[in-house]
Structure 1
Amino acid sequence: MGEPKPISRSAGHIVAAFTFQFERALHRMFHAKRRGTRIGIETLDDVVELQIRVDGTVEIMLEQDKNVVEGGAQPFQDRSAKLWHTIHVWLTILAAQGRDFDHISLCLATNAVVPSTSLAARMAAARDADDCLACIAEIRALVETTTGKARASLAAICSYPDPAIAEVIANIRLLDGSGATTPSGSWVVETIDRFNLHSTLEDQGAEIYQTLLGKLVDECKARWMRKEPAWLDPMHYVDRLQDEIARRNLERFTDRPMLHVDFRAYLESGGRDHLFLKQLAALQLTPERIDRELEKFWAFYVERVRLEKTGTIPPQDWLRRNDELHQRWEMCRSNAQLEEDDRADSTPQSLARRVFRKTIDETHKAKLGLHDTHTLYFTHGNYHALANDAEGEHYVHWHDMYAPAKATEQ
Structure 2
Amino acid sequence: MESFSAADSLVGYVYQCEYALFRALDTDDPAEGFIVETFDDVVVEGRDDAFELLQLKHHDPAKAKAFTDRSVDLWKTIRIWSSLVRDDAVDPSKTSFFLLTTAQASPSAKLVEFLAPTERGTRDIKAAKGLLTQIAAGATGSMKKNVEPFLALPEATRDVLIGNMTIVPGVAVIESLRKKIVKRLSLTGATTGNLECLAQSLVGWWYWVLIERLRSKEKLAIGKELLQERITDLVSQYVVSSLPIFEDITNPDADQKARLLQRLFVQQLMAIGHAPDKFAVAGALVDVYKADGHIKRWLEGLRLQPKELQEFKDQLYGHWAAKFGAIEPDAEACLGRDDEESELAKLGRTALSGSLSGSQAKLKDVELDYLRRGVLHIMANETMIGWHPHWIAKFKPSE
Normalising by the smaller structure, the TM-score range is 0.5 to 0.7
Q: 2:291 aligns with which of 331, 340, 343?
A: 340
Match of 1:146 in 2: 139
Unaligned ranges ≥5, structure 1 = 1-7, 250-280, 287-335, 357-393, 401-410
Q: Secondary structure at the match of 2:26?
A: coil
- Report the CA distance between 1:51 and its aligned residue: 1.3
Match of 1:282 in 2: 241
Normalised by the length of structure 2, the TM-score is 0.56
Confirm or deny that 1:88 pairs with 2:54.
Answer: no
Q: Deviations over 1:233-264 (max 9, x none)?
A: 12222222222221123xxxxxxxxxxxxxxx
- Superposition pairs for residues 266-281 of structure 1, below 5 Å? 281=240
Match of 2:69 in 1: 78
- Report the CA distance between 1:208 and its aligned residue: 1.8
- Superposition pairs for residues 257-406 of structure 1, below 5 Å? 281-283=240-242, 340-341=291-292, 345-348=296-299, 349=303, 398=364
- Report the CA distance between 1:215 and its aligned residue: 1.3
Q: Sequence identity, in percent?
A: 20
Q: Secondary structure at the match of 1:345?
A: helix
The question of whether the paired residues in 2 share the 8 Å contact of 1:74 and 1:114 is answered with no
Unaligned ranges ≥5, structure 2 = 246-286, 313-359, 367-399
Q: Secondary structure at the match of 2:100?
A: strand
Q: What is the count of residue pairs matched by the alignment?
A: 268
The CA distance in 2 between the partners of 1:187 and 1:235, in whole Å, is 22
CA gap of 1:166–1:15, structure 2 versus 1, over 3 A, is: same
The CA distance in 2 between the partners of 1:188 and 1:126, in whole Å, is 23
The CA distance in 1 between the partners of 2:53 and 2:190, in whole Å, is 37
The question of whether the paired residues in 1 share the 8 Å contact of 2:16 and 2:42 is answered with yes
- Which residue identity does 1:37 align to in structure 2? E
The question of whether the paired residues in 2 share the 8 Å contact of 1:126 and 1:169 is answered with no
Q: 2:207 aligns with which of 200, 206, 217?
A: 217
Match of 2:8 in 1: 13
The CA distance in 1 between the partners of 2:129 and 2:140, in whole Å, is 18
Q: 2:102 aligns with which of 102, 107, 111?
A: 111
Q: Secondary structure at the match of 2:103?
A: coil
The CA distance in 1 between the partners of 2:9 and 2:136, in whole Å, is 29
The question of whether the paired residues in 2 share the 8 Å contact of 1:111 and 1:184 is answered with no
- Which residue identity does 2:210 align to in structure 1? C
Q: 2:51 aligns with which of 60, 83, 91?
A: 60
The question of whether the paired residues in 1 share the 8 Å contact of 2:96 and 2:164 is answered with yes
The CA distance in 1 between the partners of 2:76 and 2:6, in whole Å, is 22
The CA distance in 1 between the partners of 2:221 and 2:97, in whole Å, is 18
- Report the CA distance between 1:227 and its aligned residue: 3.9
Confirm or deny that 1:243 pairs with 2:243.
Answer: no
- Report the CA distance between 1:229 and its aligned residue: 1.5
Match of 1:133 in 2: 126
The question of whether the paired residues in 1 share the 8 Å contact of 2:69 and 2:111 is answered with yes
The question of whether the paired residues in 1 share the 8 Å contact of 2:66 and 2:104 is answered with no
Match of 2:30 in 1: 35
